Structure 1
Amino acid sequence: MTVTNSAAAAEQAATDTGNAMEAQTRAFFVDAAIWVQTHWLQILIATSIAVGIVLLLYWLRSWGTKLCQRSDGPMGWGTILGRAVSRTGSFFIVMMSVRLVSNYAAPPEMLEKTIAFLFTVAVVFQGAVWAREIILGAIEKRTAAENYHGEALLSALGLIRLLVTVALFAIALVVVLDNLGVNVTGLVAGLGVGGIAIGLAAQGIFADLFAALAIIFDRPFRRGDKVMYDQTVGVVEEIGLKSTRVRSFDGEVRIIANKQLLDKEIQNISNRDHIRIKLPVGVAYETPPEQLEALPDMLTGIVEEAGGTIARASFEGLGASSVDFFLWFDIPGDDWPTAHKVRDAVIIGILRRFAAEGISIPFPTQTTYTADPQGKLILPYPQVQPVMRVDKEQGER
């Protein structure tokens, strides 16, 4: 009996639902017919305006396509905007035109709600398409400007395109469902939990991916730059999806994960505008004070003759076996072979000038003194008795 009553109730509910839908459909067509009869002039004018708006929007879309085709040089913001405009869909164009003229035609309430809903769907998904094209265009613009290329970068861009597309259209879908009256709280929570689970499962890959994006946008270095980190000095050969390859000056290729690379202190040698050489010089204590006073100007002249720029030429202190002097000078550019030649010329110039002036660079020396328990100095070798000369004749006497 209970099963029979449930089946009957379900059948009755289905019948009621069908009757309600049939009644709503009939009412919709009746209202539409009355609306067309009473507002035919407004409908005609609104239709004409809508057709004009459609043609204008189609022209704008074709203009965006031509803008993309005319751009032969590096990608700019005009090209990115043109590509986004060229991705405008026909559904959005039609719904935009209808929405702009719908109030003028004063449609029935049900038709007005339908137009408003379809317009919302068109705007939300079209906005997602535009946002995707602008974001991806900005990334491609940056990578093209920095000369990043390679199969790994194409894979990275493909993965970025997928992630951006999924994220934007998921947001668009949630917005549309919310406009339909659906409770999206559970859906958003489920998407959040799923995203966290995927992030935890692939956190290493995503960490290196975001590190690669940070390298592309923050530009700490680019392909072809000379960098130094830890004990490695080399040239960046490739910036990939997960790792960066650096050709060291010793010849081998060093591969390091992007995340680990950004965690280190990186010195971009290519961006330096000069190379600083630090050269300590020791002068003997026997050097006259007049020559010591002239030493800074003397060394400055030697550095300038060799092609360097003096940064510091001053005494450092009194060493164990010499008067210590520090000479710092800069060499323009970042070419180490040239810097080495200038440094060698400075060293040879110092030796020649010291030889001409009679200034000596002492060897490290140390004098040791020995004393007995009473404090009296003791020679490091035994005392030799003096030899007395004995006259032969005196000896015979």
Structure 2
Amino acid sequence: MMTQTWEQMRIVLNDRTLLGISLGSWAVFLGLLVGLALLFRILMAVAKVRSRRLADRSELPLHDYLCQILDHTWPISIVALAAYLAQTLVDFRGSIDPTAVAVGDTIRALSLIVLFLQAGRWGMGLIDEGLTHGFRFANFSESAARTAHGVVRFFALAGLWGIILILILGSFGVEITPLLAGLGVGGIAVAFALQQILGDIFCSVAIVLDKPFEVGDFIITGDHMGVVEFIGVKTTRVRSLGGEQIVFPNSDLIGSRVRNYKRMAERRVTFGFGVRYDTPADILQRIPEEVRETIESLDQVRFDRAHFAKFGDSSLDFEVVYYVLSPDYNQYMDLQQSINLSLMRRMESLGVEFAFPSRSLYVEQSAGRSQVSGFTGTSS
């Protein structure tokens, strides 16, 4: 009785069709689909746990790459792989019914598209992991790695998805060779039309490789200055001291002189001051030593020289050079302020007055008439 029931059911499933395919074939297809999907899901869960343990215990990057592949796997991709294998085993395309062939082709095409997109997602994860390990191996600083990551990732992803697109077209029977030839000819025309944009793109590669500046550096180029916030494929964005964002084409920065103050190891400072012309010579001789003592009493500075440099129009001028052992601008200004205040106190103790622009008039009596002559100098 049971045997007759199964036989009748088999006959019914084989005789009745849906979209040109017997219900029996559909049942086998769905059974394979569910079974394979569950099997792949279980295998992936086990592999994810084991690979994570291996990655935590080992320093080899291979386990990290495997974790990236498993973490970037879509659940729909497991279903697509199961559907592709199931339709191959059932062989919908072997039917003489055109509808059945179309259904088989559709299942195969949709499965391949999902699988190719999954391959692209795996590639993205491997690229990110590879860049992280590569920059670490090359001893890139954190700011340099951020600078290079965006540009290198853009070109890597462009190449990856270009290959994925070619594979998808090839799987659908599209002739790739004429397409590539057409793209080559068209690419030349596009290159001429977009040469400025392409120039900026290649300049971004030069910035990444040569590293004249990085994200976080304070730079000056031309009349503009600020902190580098972002280095993109086409432009670099700088936050100015006034708060606004300045956007530079990469080609402009490569073609101009850039002063990078973040790379400064120490700051050379030159300043001067003038005293009155009526200052005695022995006091003038003591002033450079007073300046030396003032600067050497401070931390984070290195004294270089102090000299009575020249006779100015209205003052006796001194020139001082010292080094701040830090690139920080605020620290430099604090030190310069301390030096200025200390020099004022020392000059007061010596009885020396700082000069300011003035003009003295001398009136002479000559042959019964008055003659006025001028002298530019310190008033007395």
TM-score range, shorter chain: 0.5 to 0.7
Alignment match, 1:89 = none
The AA in structure 2 aligned to 1:318 is: F
Counterpart CA distance in 2 for 1:350 and 1:283 is: 12
Alignment match, 2:280 = 288
Counterpart CA distance in 2 for 1:323 and 1:342 is: 24
Alignment match, 1:98 = none
The AA in structure 2 aligned to 1:204 is: Q
The 3 A distance-change label for structure 1 pair 375 and 326 is: farther
Deviations 1:160-211 (A, max 9, x none): 54358979xx9xxxxxxxxxxxxx9xx9998875543232122122111111
Deviations 1:300-356 (A, max 9, x none): 111112332222312321111111111121111121111111101100111110110
Aligned 1:366-381 pairs, distance under 5 A: 366-368=359-361, 378-379=370-371
More strand by share: 2
2:154 counterpart of 1:158: yes
Aligned 1:1-80 pairs, distance under 5 A: 70=55
Alignment match, 2:315 = 322
Question: Is contact 1:153–1:241 with CA below 8 Å preserved after alignment?
Answer: no
Query: Which of the residues 169, 192, 213 maps onto 1:221?
Result: 213
The AA in structure 1 aligned to 2:215 is: R
Deviations 1:31-61 (A, max 9, x none): xxxxxxxxxxxxxxxxxxxxxxxxxxxxxxx
Counterpart CA distance in 2 for 1:71 and 1:263 is: 46
2:331 counterpart of 1:338: yes
The 3 A distance-change label for structure 1 pair 165 and 327 is: same
TM-score by length of 2: 0.53
Partner SS for 1:367? strand
Deviations 1:197-239 (A, max 9, x none): 2321221221111111111111111111111222222211111
Alignment match, 2:349 = 356
Question: Is contact 2:364–2:372 with CA below 8 Å preserved after alignment?
Answer: no
Partner SS for 1:296? helix
Deviations 1:73-114 (A, max 9, x none): 9xx9977xx99xx9xxxxxxxxxxxxxxxxxxxxxxxxxxxx
TM-score by length of 1: 0.51
The structure number with the bigger radius of gyration is 1
2:261 counterpart of 1:273: no
Q: Name stretches of at least 5 consecutive residues in structure 1 with no aligned partner.
A: 1-65, 87-133, 171-183, 382-397
Query: Which of the residues 290, 293, 306 maps onto 1:298?
Result: 290
Report sequence identity in percent: 27
The AA in structure 2 aligned to 1:309 is: R
Alignment match, 2:250 = 258
Query: Which of the residues 194, 208, 215 maps onto 1:202?
Result: 194
Alignment match, 1:48 = none
Q: Give the superposed CA RMSD.
A: 4.8
Question: Is contact 1:156–1:241 with CA below 8 Å preserved after alignment?
Answer: no
Counterpart CA distance in 1 for 2:338 and 2:302 is: 13
Question: Is contact 1:223–1:237 with CA below 8 Å preserved after alignment?
Answer: yes
The AA in structure 1 aligned to 2:287 is: L
Counterpart CA distance in 2 for 1:221 and 1:77 is: 32
The 3 A distance-change label for structure 1 pair 163 and 155 is: same
Counterpart CA distance in 1 for 2:203 and 2:57 is: 31
2:237 counterpart of 1:237: no
Question: Is contact 1:331–1:339 with CA below 8 Å preserved after alignment?
Answer: yes
Counterpart CA distance in 1 for 2:246 and 2:188 is: 33
Deviation at 1:154, TM superposition (A): 4.8
Partner SS for 1:306? coil
Counterpart CA distance in 1 for 2:264 and 2:371 is: 58
Counterpart CA distance in 2 for 1:364 and 1:155 is: 56
The AA in structure 2 aligned to 1:205 is: I
